[in-house]
């Protein structure tokens, strides 16, 4: 996963990751890239059902259990990765050299090791000392990995807020903690939300890697189906379309949340 790229545009920091493209909340045209992609994926999937119900109907009926596991791992990982990312981001901008060094070292180490290697290490290598289930290993690895990337997102978003905001809050008697959580973070959230949402969507896509640990997610269920039917093209076509539809819907949800934030800020 590439590290976030920071670009300055209209005074804001734009963080580009390998997640889904978040639709522009100001784009309300009926026909756009997002709607074409979603309609295309749904039409292709429906067409496969219509013209060749066997084996596509069997494939789709085989996947729901895996979808539940995928969402479970994703949601649990988000619950740990976002707070970890916030703490890491705060640590990266901390004036305390010790805290800053710990946070920076964590980011450098984790960003330098592929997620797949981290999954192998926690599930296989650490099993020499402690045995954990595949699902637990997946949540730990994904949370630690994305916590580092989200830490950079939070750091960049917080740094984008003008220092005058902090100085004004401090002059009113706010403590450093109050200034951060009552003044800086609420303003930074509008900038942080799209890349954080993007990372969460990328997190869902990366759960496909947990199939190597026999965790029954979408990919593992697909591999099991292929192992008995040898329908590689049909099975992985359906899996690709399912992932595409899910990520497109989630990206639209993030876009709607961003639009509402902008609406309330403008009132």
pLDDT given at position 19: 57
CA 255 to mean position of chain CA atoms:
14
pLDDT at 170: 86
Q: What is the pLDDT of residue 145?
A: 96
Distances (CA, A) of 115 to 89, 123, 142, 209, 243: 20, 12, 7, 8, 19
pLDDT of residue 32: 83
pLDDT tens-digit profile of 219-254?
999 999 999 999 999 999 999 999 999 999 999 998
3-state secondary structure of 230: coil
Task: Give the pLDDT score at 46.
Answer: 93
Distances in Å between the alpha carbon of 44 and those of 52, 67, 72, 177, 239? 12, 20, 27, 52, 12
The predicted structure's pLDDT at residue 20? 59
pLDDT of residue 167: 87
pLDDT along the chain (267 residues), means of 10: 45 51 64 90 94 92 94 96 96 94 96 95 92 93 96 93 89 89 89 91 94 92 94 96 95 86 62
- Tell me the Cα Rg of the chain: 21
- Residue 13's pLDDT is 46
Residues 6+ apart with CB under 8 A from 149: 1, 3, 4, 17, 85, 111, 199
Q: Hey, what are 142's tokens?
A: 């994904």
Which residue do the tokens 């889904």 mark?
Answer: 20
pLDDT value of position 12: 47
- The pLDDT of residue 106 is 97
Could you tell me which of 252, 257, 4, 24 has the C-alpha nearest to residue 150? Answer: 4
């Amino acid at each position: 996963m590439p590290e976030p790229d920071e670009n300055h545009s209209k005074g804001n920091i734009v963080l580009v990751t390998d997640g889904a493209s978040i639709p522009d909340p100001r784009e309300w045209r009926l026909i756009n890239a997002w709607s074409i992609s979603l309609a295309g994926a749904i039409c292709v999937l429906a067409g496969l059902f219509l013209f060749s119900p066997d084996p596509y109907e069997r494939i789709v009926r085989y996947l729901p259990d895996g979808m539940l596991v995928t969402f479970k791992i994703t949601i649990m990982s988000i619950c740990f990765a976002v707070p970890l990312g916030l703490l890491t981001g705060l640590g990266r901008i901390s004036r305390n050299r010790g805290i800053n060094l710990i946070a920076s070292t964590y980011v450098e180490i984790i960003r330098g090791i592929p997620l797949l290697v981290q999954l192998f290490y926690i599930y296989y290598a650490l099993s020499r000392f402690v045995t954990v289930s595949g699902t637990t290993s997946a949540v730990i690895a994904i949370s630690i990995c994305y916590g580092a990337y989200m830490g950079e997102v939070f750091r960049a978003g917080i740094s984008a807020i003008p220092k005058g905001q902090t100085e004004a809050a401090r002059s009113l008697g706010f403590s450093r903690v109050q200034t951060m959580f009552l003044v800086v973070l609420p303003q930074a959230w509008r900038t942080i939300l799209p890349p954080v949402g993007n990372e969460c969507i990328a997190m869902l896509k990366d759960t496909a890697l947990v199939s190597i640990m026999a965790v029954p997610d979408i990919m593992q269920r697909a591999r099991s189906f292929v192992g008995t039917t040898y329908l590689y093209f049909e099975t992985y076509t359906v899996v690709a379309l399912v992932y595409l539809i899910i990520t497109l819907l989630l990206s639209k949800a993030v876009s709607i949340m961003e639009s509402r934030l902008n609406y309330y800020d403008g009132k």
